[in-house]
Amino acid sequence: VSSSPPSRNETVCILADPAGIFELVQVVGNGTYGQVYKGRHVKTGQLAAIKVMNVTENEEEEIKLEINMLKKYSHHRNIATYYGAFVKQSPAGQDDQLWLVMEYCGAGSVTDLVKKTKGNCFKEDWIAYICREVLRGLAHLHINHVIHRDIKGQNVLLTENAEVKLVDFGVSAQLDRTIGRRNTFIGTPYWMAPEVIACEENQDSTYDYRSDLWSLGITAIEMAEGAPPLCDMHPMRALFLIPRNPPPKLKSRKWSKKFLNFVESCLVKNYLHRPSTETLLKHSFIRDMQNERQVRIMLKDHLDRTRKKKGEKDETEYEYTGSEEEDDELDEDEGEPSSIVNLPGESTLRREFLRLQQENKNRSDPHRQQQFQQQQLKDQEKYKKQLQAERQKRIEQEKERRKRLEDHQKREEELRKQQECEQRWPEIKAVQRRDEKCEDDKGIVDEEMSSSPKPEPIRRGNARKGSVVNVNPTNIRPQSDSPEIRKYKKKFNSEILCAALWGVNLLVGTENGLWLLDRSGQGRVYSLITRRRFQQMDVLEGLNVLITISGKKNKLRVYYLSWLRNKILRNDPEVEKRQGWVSVGDLEGCVHYKVVKYERIKFLVIALKSSVEVYAWAPKPYHKFMAFKSFTSLHHKPLSVDLTVENGQRLKVIYGSQVGFHAIDVDSGSVYDLYLPTHIQGTIHPHAIIILPNTNGTELLLAYEDEGVYIDIYGHFTKETVLQWGEMPASVAYLQSNQVMGWGEKAIELRSVEAGNLEGVFMHKKAQKLKFLCERNDKVFFASVQSGGSSQIYFMTLGQNVLFNW
């Protein structure tokens, strides 16, 4: 390898070690499958751009062929010159590093520049100049039968002298795909031509070099509007919509007819009718560009001013520091190809999304939906009279059962006191004093709640196992499979609204802030955020995020766990400088959300005041939830929401309102009633939507008021059984133990989710309001609301037995 940067005519020895030849200076960007560095030639000090990627030995031969092709066609004034490639050897067991070295373009990409430009748009003559230079570079590639395949603002670079250079052309895109086969990345499809997407959906479809011209048209819109069309949409949704939507157009009327017509010419849907590269070079928008020298001077001046402002903080998203893997899932960084290339027979993230979006007119047929609704009305009328009679009967039965439990508990309590007095009879006066003290202590320990009944020293044939209430959660758990209830000493001054486990610790959301309860030590509490209301939250540790509904406007916000961690540890000044959260879309007035994982896809379904939004997680490089579908102007305001996948094929949103439960077919957008409990007067309170296990997402338990019914996703009853609570629960939750728990004022009930059978009761000593917070494994966390608005946290450790003997 030569000791100076290679000239355009030199052949650089491919796959030599870069040590002593090039060195990395600083990261200037994150590529699809690696980072891009500003680098320096060691002997001459000349700058170069170096793309660093991990490769395996098996890929190196393929890479050699591809890089030779890169060198062959990079000799053009509008294409960044490739100097060569090197492989940096890694220790045994680790992938080697591929270094791709190319011409350094110091002013950065068109995408970066337009984001730093006032109004997020370029002047029209700047756009004409850049489009002309891109067309010249494409003409060179196309005449040599090379398709770029990845034209977008990020791949159009500017030098400090306002020269325009294309990067990542043709086989470089192929190189990305080669290395990307084992990555999660799902592509940047917003610039992709419809025929390219169609070709990947259907192996018989074809496309040619004119796909680059569609991408140029989208890039022109990006320079005019700051972002490509559909950019707020999830990339998989965009992939689905681009071939099906009409060609996008410029939104503003301020642009000239020439520019509007140029964009229209690039974005002809049928590529066979799309103009060629040479034809577009003769388009009046390109041909009639006035005073090119003046345009270059203005653009260079803008680049200089932007570079001076570079010291100011860029509006970039928080740097990703998590992993894409979660404990209970497959590693999202492995075994999944890029969406840009689908190998035959592979199960990919792209295909899962595509399958879930395919139109299926037989299933979405309005006539069939009408039949479902008619049948549903008949079913409901049939059950209405039966339910009204049975409901009263069940309520009486549950009251009688509860009364027997309470009487049994009182007898056991009296017996316990009698035994204590008999044991201490010789010291009756001391006993009296101890009894008085014992009554005082019980306000802290016993009065909160107890199972029915407490375990006794004397064995009885039908004695039920009791709960253990302990104010110190660090105590060693007794050797018993009895359920335990413990409470933390910390009293929160405002009502606890939600909580989520973060590792072993508990994040707690209240009316006026976010706290961390350290469960690994002595229950110490840390304040993380003050003066902000937290209504709902979930931790996704593998993604490094905390999802919340928070603030006065009930926005959906995503907080970064590394930022929250640093608020406690204070050990990373760089993290502290960044904004620790981002909003999901512009959503305000959020009522409830649910995170639903299907295959490798994470959906986020959100209930707003009169609409439902469906978002989906977009992995690196996006690393955020992005819009998938929206359902507005719903007749009934959603109060709770969930999402199911019917037989692995069709997405169904299930939501509860004040009149009952409803469903939305995500594909067709049709909304229909699932269950309306017309036998109950007035409005209802929907507690929980439980998608029953082992039913392929087709059967539900809908909990509302003091009942629960079993139906399928089309509103047909699947069981005649009705789950009946002993009292009106304030909160209902489905547990991983396949049980459902209800928190009433007098007791906590544990029931079988399959049949609604009572499997356990925890009686309270005094009426109190309890709220479910979260659960994991055999631990269930809930909170009490006491007089004055203060709250305390309890957790219950369920017994080892699935069916408890009370």
Asked if 574 and 581 count as a contact pair (C-beta separation under 8 A), the reply is: no
Pairing state between β 108-109 and 82-88: unpaired
Roughly what angle, to the nearest 10 degrees, separates helices 257-266 and 124-143? Answer: 30
Return the structure tokens found at 391: 């409901």
Give the whole-angstrom CA distance, residue 587 versus residue 608: 8
Listed in sequence order, the residues at least 6 apart from 176 whose beta carbon sits closer than 8 Å to its beta carbon are 31, 32, 33, 150, 168, 338, 340
List Cα–Cα distances, 353 to 584, 682, 731, in angstroms.
20, 41, 34
- Dist. CA 126–CA 765, nearest whole Å: 76
Q: How far apart are CA 166 and CA 172, in angstroms?
A: 11
Q: Is 644 exposed, middle or buried (0-12, 13-18, 19+ CB in 10 A)?
A: buried
Name the DSSP letter for residue 422.
Answer: H
Catalytic residue among 96, 125, 150, 176: 150
Q: Which two structure tokens, joined as six digits, stand for 221?
A: 């819109």
List the helix and strand counts (H, then E) for the chain.
17, 38
Binding residue per annotation — 51? yes
List CB contacts of 616: < 8 A, sequence separation 6 or more: 234, 236, 237, 353, 601, 602, 603, 604, 625, 626, 628
Looking at residue 731, what DSSP letter applies? E
Give the C-alpha separation, 524 to 120, whole Å: 47
Tokens 């101890």 map to which residue?
434
Confirm if 369 and 662 have CB atoms less than 8 A apart: no
Q: How far apart are CA 608 and CA 639, in angstroms?
A: 8
Is 150 catalytic? The answer is yes
Q: Any idea what DSSP says for residue 575? A: H
Give the residue carrying structure tokens 């499997």: 759
Handedness of CA 425, 430, 432, 436 (dihedral sign): negative
Residue 794: alpha-carbon gap to chain centroid: 29
Distance CA 768, CA 791 (A): 11
**Which residue do the tokens 């799902």 mark?**
186
- Residue 557: beta bridge partners? 548, 583
**What is the side-by-side strand order in the sheet with 779-785?**
469-470, 484-487, 791-797, 779-785, 769-776
Q: Which residue has the tokens 């998938």?
A: 628
3-state SS, one letter per residue, for 67-101 = HHHHHHHCCECCECCEEEEEEECCCCCCCEEEEEE
Q: Yes or no: say if 449 and 765 are a contact pair by the CB < 8 Å rule.
A: yes
Which runs of consecutive H residues, i.e. helices, occur in 327-365? 349-357, 361-364
Token pair for 769: 């309001």
Three-class DSSP category at 523: coil
Helix, strand, coil % (nearest 5) of the chain? 30, 30, 40
How far apart CA 642 and CA 654 sit, in angstroms, is 5
Nearest alpha-carbon partner for 357 in 740, 156, 628 = 628
Give the residue ranges of the annotated binding site for ATP. 51
**Which of the residues are catalytic?**
150
